[in-house]
Structure 1
């Protein structure tokens, strides 16, 4: 694996007292978490104000629309619900991975909360853990200021309001960020466990598996260490084996449940999803470039170009293999998938490594200027999030 000393950081020492170490880590991350929580609070306040004028319930917008309804039904009734649409589409709830509805079910059974409110609770808590993990990665690689900036940048994404919804993005990003951090610091069993849980949360959990395997490969391949790994690196091998079990386990379960070896992928096809290398998305952009007013097509083209530029910058930063593997996989799986083009910004929420070049640049500014930039972007994000959720299409 890339030596972290080359990036100005090294794995933190372990003094054998995990409680004290966690306390120190939390105190170090506290400014990032407070700033991140401020971005989420601003988004909720703007949503509430917008909802008051639009006569719509912010609570319903956050907990009882679109995918959140599917998660709630799974939590309450289990799998097996399918909708057959007039256009031939078949929407099965098997498309939704089980960790979030499972948590909703457990929490609603233990606390006086419905499944939807349990989903909001999960998102509220795990969004903070996600911000903490993102801070930890930035801090490890580039220092404290970059870590804080990176966590806040993640909170002020244009569709950051999703982090406060009863969706699985916050839960997934928390597991992904800490899985990547564990891989960077060679905590192999933790990395494998986070990857396995991420694989039970969203299909893109495969990206966390890629991060763990990239770290393991970079650790073992130089000098032929892989020949003796079964004797000297058993925790590494255990983490690498554990990593894909969540994703594979659910896909295999769906195959058994449907009676087809490709059952999960058939379920995705029923939703109009799948991987086509970006052909459908390119056609979607092209269609908006040849029809007036052309603004949507130009915006999509510029946005896609910006994502490619950020990916190239990540490589230019010489980010460690786990980070490049994870960020690249999330980007490819989001952009190169067909269907639900309006949801692509949401699918990119977990791709926090793409924000690192921006975070490094902002952290070089004077703190006041950095705060002004992030505050302005945060306000714009809050307004856009309220506008987006009051629209007709799902995020």
Structure 2
């Protein structure tokens, strides 16, 4: 695209971006009110809570922090991928702000970039109305408060959305390069690489194996994720298993859903904080949405991307309460709902949107002011 097409695309995306900003600002205002009522500093929860503190420490001091707990758990900061703390470090180098504030600036900017990419994907596949509604739904997910925190999901989603858009439009070098950057942001960003490799492979299968750009995209896509995993492995003395040993120290491992199933069974017998049954409900809804999405014969890269994200979330053990956050980048699964809303009567669509907004704002405030579990 030249300058004029990009400007036109941004103008078309403006209503979607405005609705997204309004959704997140509304959630932020409710959070601030709830935090004030509870005597909590909202900035502290947004900028330094849980993983945000780990990222800020990596940005300031580099890797090397390990916590040893009485139960035998060993938590190393090597579990956190390097792109986000690198961006925080870059912002604090340029601006006189703390690491927490820099993290918020990075996340908020990335969330807007992600919303723009999501809109353009929805517009290309289904038209402007669907693209706009898709962005609004993403901003109104029950756990979308994460998009206003100093967390990595907005950064990953931004690179994922634009990489998928590049794959759909057959810009293979861009798709691979953006997938490489996404792979440096989060563990489950391997889904972006898988999507680009699958799409490039299909392009080569259909058009012949001599095309250079699909090969370039496919080769670039996994380099970020694989590079970091192998670097951690080499640092830990086990090139291929070291990173996964680090994750195991955080109780995170892939067991094909056995841990998730066992936890759901415990939920039926033991009382837990609201966040745990909500995590089970949200994860179940995303699984249903994935089934509906696949039945609609979706675009190959979006289908592969969504499938890998769902597989990692459902098949992974540990931190059950975080599964909705792991699925936050799975925006293509909202397409069946976006399509249904654009076809519904205006009153019904407005009622559903208002209900989603109420749930998103209220639950987001609960997560950061009342819930005791980590996000």
TM category (shorter chain) comes to: over 0.9
Residue 33 of structure 2 is aligned to residue 49 of structure 1: yes
How far residue 217 of structure 1 moved from its aligned partner, in angstroms, is 1.9
Residue 168 (structure 2) aligned to one of 180, 184, 191 = 184
Residue 92 of structure 2 is aligned to residue 108 of structure 1: yes
Residue 240 (structure 1) aligned to one of 218, 223, 226 = 218
Deviations 1:164-192 (A, max 9, x none): 00000001000001111110000101100
Residue 363 (structure 1) aligned to one of 342, 346, 353 = 342
Deviations 1:257-309 (A, max 9, x none): 21222111110011100111110010000112234699999766654443332
Matches of 1:112 and 1:295, distance apart in 2: 39
1:196 paired residue number? 180
Counting only pairs closer than 5 Å after superposition, residues 89-108 of structure 1 correspond to structure 2 as 89-108=73-92
Contact 1:42 1:382 in 2 (8 A): yes
Matches of 2:219 and 2:297, distance apart in 1: 27
Residue 362 of structure 2 is aligned to residue 392 of structure 1: no
Which shifted more, 95-104 or 248-257? 248-257
Residue 293 of structure 2 is aligned to residue 314 of structure 1: yes
Residue 209 (structure 1) aligned to one of 193, 202, 215 = 193
2:132 paired residue number? 148
Counting only pairs closer than 5 Å after superposition, residues 228-307 of structure 1 correspond to structure 2 as 229=210, 233-261=211-239, 262-291=241-270, 303-307=282-286
1:218 paired residue number? 202
2:141 paired residue number? 157
Helix, strand or coil: the match of 2:67? Answer: strand
Matches of 2:180 and 2:287, distance apart in 1: 28
Mark the CA change 1:385 to 1:111 in structure 2 (over 3 Å): closer, same or farther. Answer: same
Residue 29 of structure 2 is aligned to residue 33 of structure 1: no
Residue 49 of structure 2 is aligned to residue 65 of structure 1: yes
Residue 75 (structure 1) aligned to one of 59, 62, 72 = 59
Contact 2:203 2:214 in 1 (8 A): no
Matches of 2:356 and 2:274, distance apart in 1: 21
**Normalising to structure 1: TM-score of the pair?**
0.91
Unaligned runs of 5+ in 2: none
How far residue 128 of structure 1 moved from its aligned partner, in angstroms, is 0.5
1:85 paired residue number? 69
How far residue 373 of structure 1 moved from its aligned partner, in angstroms, is 2.2
Matches of 2:233 and 2:310, distance apart in 1: 27
Matches of 1:294 and 1:91, distance apart in 2: 24
Matches of 2:360 and 2:274, distance apart in 1: 20
Matches of 1:375 and 1:140, distance apart in 2: 27
Helix, strand or coil: the match of 2:75? Answer: strand
Matches of 2:53 and 2:23, distance apart in 1: 25
Deviations 1:289-343 (A, max 9, x none): 2346999997666544433321111111110110100001011111111000011
Counting only pairs closer than 5 Å after superposition, residues 338-377 of structure 1 correspond to structure 2 as 338-367=317-346, 369-377=348-356
Deviations 1:335-368 (A, max 9, x none): 1110000111111100111111011000112445
How far residue 47 of structure 1 moved from its aligned partner, in angstroms, is 0.6
Matches of 2:230 and 2:77, distance apart in 1: 16
Contact 2:156 2:185 in 1 (8 A): yes
Mark the CA change 1:292 to 1:269 in structure 2 (over 3 Å): closer, same or farther. Answer: closer
Which shifted more, 291-300 or 173-182? 291-300
Matches of 2:358 and 2:266, distance apart in 1: 32
Helix, strand or coil: the match of 2:70? Answer: coil
How far residue 59 of structure 1 moved from its aligned partner, in angstroms, is 0.3
Give the length in aligned residue pairs: 373
1:7 paired residue number? none
**Normalising to structure 2: TM-score of the pair?**
0.96
Contact 1:153 1:355 in 2 (8 A): yes
Helix, strand or coil: the match of 2:316? Answer: coil
Helix, strand or coil: the match of 1:101? Answer: helix
Unaligned runs of 5+ in 1: 1-13
Matches of 2:273 and 2:358, distance apart in 1: 27
